Structure 1
Amino acid sequence: MSEQTLSSEEGSSTQADATRQKRKKLLSLVAILFIIGVVVYVIWHVFFSQSEDTDNAYVGANTAQVNSVISGQVQQVLVDDTQYVHAGDVVIKLDDRDAKIAVAQAEADLLKVKRQYGQTEANSDSLTSQIRATDSAIQSQQAQVNKAQSDLIRAQKDLERRTALNASGAISKEEYTTAQNALNTAQANLALNKAGLAQAISNQKVAESNLKANEALIKGTTSNTTPDVLAAQAKLDQANLNLTRTVIKAPIDGIITNRNVQVGQTISSGSALMLIVPIHALYVDANFKENQLAHVKPGQVVKLTSDLYGDDVVFHGTVVGLSGGTGAAFALIPAQNATGNWIKVVQRLPVRIHLQPEELKKHPLRVGLSMTATVDLKSD
């Protein structure tokens, strides 16, 4: 019985040793294959790889912000978040009553200055007639001066004769006094008529000066081109423009998002009311490691997949360009690498990739979705 037991134990030990030897050989083979695979992958990746890929990529878009250029109260909001709109669609209406009043006031001001221009033209005609009238008055007054001078000469001669007769007693003192009074009257009449002539000349100069000033206001202009009319017309144009701005329209095609305006709200000029995302003009910012970018160039073909659709849907894009700096360089609080405990961190640089609009129409994406991008380095 003991011999049989010993034989059985020896057989079991031999079988166990054989099993262990097989396991060691199998594990060694697996380890060798793993090492060979790693070496082949490294050699291929370093020397033969023709692409670079990253899963740190996200969908972006040049969104359009809808603002109000004027202040006013919101009368209607015609869209809501997630709604698709076309460029030119009305999205918001403001209360336009104040704007209409401003237009009416501007129209009245324009009519007023045009009427003033017409009055200025009429004043020119009136002043021209006035100058012609002063010509006649000057001529008439000059004739009066000439007559007064003749009367004065005649009175002087008459007084001289009577002075000689008075010395001989041939005339009475009363007659001599009358001659002296006549001379005084003639002198006074001449002075009076000269003053009248000077006044007529002065009136003509004033009329001529007024005419020149009036002509300066309208010279080279018409009722539509005078500065006052142009200024009033500009105010009317601005009032009409503000009236049109009470109707706010979508600037581009896209989906409404971030709507933050309500009916009845009073908004100020420049207020951000909502965003429009152009889902047919999206791009991808792929953040590649700095050691992946040596051969990445604009124009290279990119294949992309999204977490939304999985690997079954492949998007095709083109490298547009590389960012001017890493994300860390433009962070709100940049890293302070000058400290004593600095640790090197591999940086990533955003690469802008343009997506094909036709593919986006078939499989729409949204801003912020994750993507996996593979750049074909041979495609340049």
Structure 2
Amino acid sequence: MSENTIHETPNTKRKKLLIGFTLIVIIIGVLVSLYWFMYASHFVSTDNAYTAVETAQITPAIDGTIREILVTDTQSVKAGDILVKIDPIDTKSQLDQAKANLDSAIRRVQGYIANDGNLQAQITAKEADAKRVLAQLQASQADKDKAAIDLKRREALIGSGSVSQDELTLIQNAYTTAKSNFEALQATSLEIGANLKAAQYAKKINDALIQGTTEESHPEVLAARAKLDQAEIDFNRTIIKSPIDGIVSKRYVQLGQRVQQGMNLLSVVPITKIHVDANFKEVQLPKVNVGQKAIVYSDLYGKHVIYHGIVEGFSGGTGAAFSAIPAQNATGNWIKVVQRIPVRIQLDEDELKEHPLRVGLSMNVEIDTTTNSRKE
């Protein structure tokens, strides 16, 4: 046996090593490819993510002077807890005035209703007077006509001497009296008619004030009651309560400060409602859909505290599109930059209670694109 068969040459050994290394690289490449296609390609991740929440901005609904502040920054509060009290002296005065106005309106409407009966009684009485005077006027007309006939007859006989001058004078006086009585009754009838029309007109005006209403449903009472309700609302608004559970933040209000409606006093951050805004590259999102599961951890606690989340939605545009100075891509110096789209991740409330987060913390997000999802 030759020495060449016993000992390999350096070239042969180098070839074997090269072939072995190549096989190892190929195997590693195959394994990495299998890992990528079978597992890693189903996940997208980013560390460009931050916690966020819809905070409650506490603002007064009325103007006033701050009388008492019951909370400080970082203090935990529950929904319904009193945060700030406004001096109620102005609203108390308005409330008392509104109560007095309502009482006056009720009494005024009661007067309308009572006056309606009084006016109806007046109309009835004047109608009776009109009938009575009409009967008297008819009788007086008959007396006047009779007196006129008697006078005419006596005047015809005066020349023959059948009627004395004294008798004629008496007949003339009787006619004059009958005529005067008739004219007086005519005037009385006109007066009663005018008074009746005035009472009917007054009744019509009063009817317009109360027609179709009751004491409780009268417009004047309803308007006064509405002002009273508003005054009570304004009075209750002097006590400002927390609308949600959370942490007091950014307390600007100070004791004795004069505040106006809508002025920002403080904020309440509902830390159990915190979500994550994850800014994924646009090339990472083709397979990401609403409802897919996500694994989230924070820089605060590290990887040993894992939060389980769900993709809740996508922003309506990229972060650059909503920036103060949007990018001008239609320029000659344009350079393509991969954009990021904020994806909202809903976190489990129980996990947040166990390990609370704060707004603005850095987060790491990984989404499993193979989990159940729904298209938006």
TM-score (norm 1): 0.87
Matched, 1:212 2:208: no
> Which residue identity does 1:276 align to in structure 2?
V
- What residue is the counterpart of 1:102 in the other structure? 94
Taking the aligned partners of 1:302 and 1:139, their CA distance within structure 2 comes to 97
Which of 48, 55, 58 is the aligned partner of 1:56? Answer: 48
Structure 1 200/119 Cα, relative in aligned 2: closer, same or farther at 3 Å?
same
- What residue is the counterpart of 1:269 in the other structure? 261
- What residue is the counterpart of 2:343 in the other structure? 351
Taking the aligned partners of 2:104 and 2:130, their CA distance within structure 1 comes to 38
- What residue is the counterpart of 2:124 in the other structure? 132
Taking the aligned partners of 1:261 and 1:35, their CA distance within structure 2 comes to 68
Q: 5 Å matches for 1:251-290?
A: 251-290=243-282
- What residue is the counterpart of 2:368 in the other structure? 376
- Structure 1 range deviating more: 174-183 or 142-151: 174-183
Secondary structure at the counterpart of residue 210 of structure 1: helix
Which of 305, 311, 314 is the aligned partner of 2:297? Answer: 305
Secondary structure at the counterpart of residue 272 of structure 2: coil
Taking the aligned partners of 2:368 and 2:156, their CA distance within structure 1 comes to 137
Structure 1 319/275 Cα, relative in aligned 2: closer, same or farther at 3 Å?
same
State the superposition RMSD in angstroms.
2.7
> Which residue identity does 1:75 align to in structure 2?
R
Structure 1 236/195 Cα, relative in aligned 2: closer, same or farther at 3 Å?
same
Matched, 1:81 2:73: yes
> Which residue identity does 1:322 align to in structure 2?
F
Taking the aligned partners of 2:263 and 2:87, their CA distance within structure 1 comes to 16
- What residue is the counterpart of 2:151 in the other structure? 159
Taking the aligned partners of 2:167 and 2:193, their CA distance within structure 1 comes to 39
Give the C-alpha shift of residue 133 in structure 1.
Answer: 1.7
Give the C-alpha shift of residue 328 in structure 1.
Answer: 0.7
- Structure 1 range deviating more: 245-254 or 269-278: 269-278
Structure 1 365/93 Cα, relative in aligned 2: closer, same or farther at 3 Å?
same
> Which residue identity does 1:332 align to in structure 2?
A
- What residue is the counterpart of 1:293 in the other structure? 285
User: Which deviations, in whole Å up to 9, do the C-alpha atoms of 1:237-273 show, x marking residues without a partner?
Assistant: 1000101000000000000101110010011111111
> Which residue identity does 1:53 align to in structure 2?
S
Taking the aligned partners of 1:30 and 1:201, their CA distance within structure 2 comes to 129
> Which residue identity does 1:354 align to in structure 2?
Q
- What residue is the counterpart of 2:183 in the other structure? 191
Taking the aligned partners of 1:80 and 1:289, their CA distance within structure 2 comes to 40
Q: 5 Å matches for 1:13-24?
A: none
Write out the 4+ residue segments of structure 1 that deviate beyond 6 Å after TM superposition. 29-40
Secondary structure at the counterpart of residue 73 of structure 2: coil
Taking the aligned partners of 2:178 and 2:226, their CA distance within structure 1 comes to 65
Taking the aligned partners of 2:258 and 2:111, their CA distance within structure 1 comes to 44
- Structure 1 range deviating more: 198-207 or 67-76: 198-207
> Which residue identity does 1:241 align to in structure 2?
I
- What residue is the counterpart of 2:137 in the other structure? 145
Structure 1 264/33 Cα, relative in aligned 2: closer, same or farther at 3 Å?
farther
Taking the aligned partners of 2:46 and 2:31, their CA distance within structure 1 comes to 21
- What residue is the counterpart of 1:242 in the other structure? 234
- What residue is the counterpart of 2:306 in the other structure? 314
- Structure 1 range deviating more: 171-180 or 264-273: 171-180
User: Which deviations, in whole Å up to 9, do the C-alpha atoms of 1:161-209 show, x marking residues without a partner?
Assistant: 2112222244455654553444344223212211211221222222222
User: Which deviations, in whole Å up to 9, do the C-alpha atoms of 1:287-339 show, x marking residues without a partner?
Assistant: 11111111111111111111101121111111112222110111121100001
- Structure 1 range deviating more: 285-294 or 29-38: 29-38
- What residue is the counterpart of 1:228 in the other structure? 220
TM-score (norm 2): 0.87
Secondary structure at the counterpart of residue 167 of structure 1: coil
Gaps of 5+ in 1: 1-17, 19-25
Structure 1 39/335 Cα, relative in aligned 2: closer, same or farther at 3 Å?
farther
Give the C-alpha shift of residue 213 in structure 1.
Answer: 2.4
Q: 5 Å matches for 1:11-50?
A: 45=36, 49-50=41-42
Matched, 1:70 2:65: no
Gaps of 5+ in 2: 1-9, 11-16
> Which residue identity does 1:358 align to in structure 2?
D
- What residue is the counterpart of 2:317 in the other structure? 325
Taking the aligned partners of 1:290 and 1:135, their CA distance within structure 2 comes to 92
- What residue is the counterpart of 1:13 in the other structure? none
- Structure 1 range deviating more: 180-189 or 241-250: 180-189
Matched, 1:334 2:326: yes
> Which residue identity does 2:252 align to in structure 1?
N
User: Which deviations, in whole Å up to 9, do the C-alpha atoms of 1:67-96 show, x marking residues without a partner?
Assistant: 111111000111011000000000000000
Structure 1 319/339 Cα, relative in aligned 2: closer, same or farther at 3 Å?
same
Secondary structure at the counterpart of residue 157 of structure 2: helix
Give the C-alpha shift of residue 149 in structure 1.
Answer: 1.3
User: Which deviations, in whole Å up to 9, do the C-alpha atoms of 1:50-73 show, x marking residues without a partner?
Assistant: 211100000011111111111110
Give the C-alpha shift of residue 46 in structure 1.
Answer: 6.8
